[in-house]
Amino acid sequence: MDAFVLLGSFFVLMMIGMPVAFSLGLAALIGALWIELPLDAVMIQLAAGVNKFSLLAIPFFVLAGTIMAEGGMARRLVAFAGVLVGFIRGGLSLVNIMASTFFGAISGSSVADTASIGSVLIPEMERKGYPRDFATAVTISGSVQAILIPPSHNAVIYSLAAGGSVSIAALFMAGVVPGLLMGLTLAILCLIIAKKKNYPKGEVVPLKQALKICVDAAWGLMTMVIILGGILSGVFTANESASIAVLWAFFVTMFIYRDYKWRDLPKLVHRTVKTVTIVMILIGFAACFGYLMTLMQIPMKVTAFFTGISDNKFVILMMINVMLLVLGCLMDMSPLILILTPILLPVVTLLGVDPVHFGMIMMVNLGIGLITPPVGTVLFVGSAVSKLKIGIITRAMKPFYVALVIVLLMVTYIPAVSLWLPRAMGL
């Protein structure tokens, strides 16, 4: 009955249109009153939830990504990807996927990826003879890579939701191979579709112009070298590399590219603070909610439920995948990570699944949810950029959903896809 009151009140509040963060907070208060827990204990958990040093990485990564997104980096990455693969049949779709790979390694955000890359490439692809719905589908599906490829602030949130027991550096490295695998799978799909529908070839960029484009893009690409190189070399922690990435992004945007106006900086910082505030409120209320779930022994009950159905690891992982895919269509990614990680992590660790591996399973699942109706945030951003209705985009997305589910199954059932690189790095 305790669990019914806590979870039931949360879903009722969600259904009447209350924001997820406040639904979590009010549900935690209702649950505390139901079990007669002093409200002081809930407030202590709220403060403790956001009073974590590792959370400093989130605002820095968000700010670095925002600066590069609005400072002309997307346009330069598109041009750089065009040098590498733009001359192939269907080359602009490959440019789209590759630009998303590069930009994801800088922004860590699928929303920023879709907005930035999409505003450049969707009109360009349509002008070159690609259907607008196909261009939008490529952009949206390619942006899911940003969830996996470091620096993903969702990896930081997962580490927090796991109680800080999972290394952020290990999660960053674990996302590299699945992210590249996703990009490769989408690229193969684009090549097949391009050949079948006879999409146009691009032109080979002259050597002199190609060198200029590569040098121009190298300044921005150094951001991911700073982030990953600093963490892996041990010179920086995740927080320190994020703050240095902000300084580098600011330097490149304002002094090298000079596409962004100084007078617009306060607005950019304001948007960043607004985004981070929403995330922090969500984390604080989720900490309260998780505390109540622990007191009510919900994780133990869920573990007993799954193991009561089957003791086969592969069957349980498939059930968890189906559940995450469904929930990912109904809620945003960050709250689901914060709510479900404390519940599901005990289940999978009992089965011998590595917590880092499970983090990647969860990221891919919920990343697909971001581009799936009815609550796919990235899908709505893609719709706004392309000015197409959600239904039209969703129909064009069907083969891309199949490709992403194939990647999900590979990540789920081949642990080495996620674990090889962090273990090779000794993480």
DSSP 35: T
Mean pLDDT of 63-72: 76
What is the residue type of 285?
A: F
Which tens digit of pLDDT belongs to each residue from 16-32? 878 878 888 888 888 88
Give the CA radius of gyration of the chain: 22
Alpha carbon distance 188, 127 (integer Å): 23
Q: Which range, of 62-76, 143-157, 239-253, 331-345, averages the lowest pLDDT?
A: 62-76
pLDDT attached to residue 101: 85
Alpha carbon distance 4, 348 (integer Å): 23
pLDDT attached to residue 140: 92
Mean pLDDT of 340-368: 91
What number of other Cβ atoms are within 10 A of residue 18's Cβ? 16
Residue 184 has pLDDT above 90, yes or no: yes
Strand partners of residue 201: 89
Which tens digit of pLDDT belongs to each residue from 33-57? 888 888 888 888 888 777 877 777 7
Which tens digit of pLDDT belongs to each residue from 412-427? 999 999 999 998 887 7
Q: Which residue, among 367, 358, 279, has the nearest Cα to 55 in the 3D structure? A: 279
Mean pLDDT of 222-236: 75
Which tens digit of pLDDT belongs to each residue from 255-304? 888 877 888 888 888 888 887 888 788 888 888 888 888 788 777 777 77
- Encoded tokens for 176: 């590299």
What is the residue type of 335?
A: P
Residue 234 has pLDDT above 80, yes or no: no
Mean pLDDT of 171-190: 92
- Encoded tokens for 405: 């589910």
Which tens digit of pLDDT belongs to each residue from 81-93? 877 777 778 788 8
What is the residue type of 255?
A: F
C-alpha dihedral sign at 291, 294, 299, 301: negative
Work out the pLDDT band at 66, boundaries 50, 70, 90.
confident
SS3 1: coil
Query: What pTM does this model have?
Result: 0.84
Alpha carbon distance 34, 318 (integer Å): 34
Q: Which residues contact 36 (CB under 8 A, 6 or more apart)?
A: none
Mean pLDDT of 208-231: 80
Residue with structure tokens 């070298």? 225
Residue 411 has pLDDT above 90, yes or no: yes
% of the chain exceeding 90 in pLDDT: 16
CB 161 within 8 A of CB 337: yes
pLDDT attached to residue 260: 77
Question: ω into residue 399 within 30 of 0, thus cis?
Answer: no
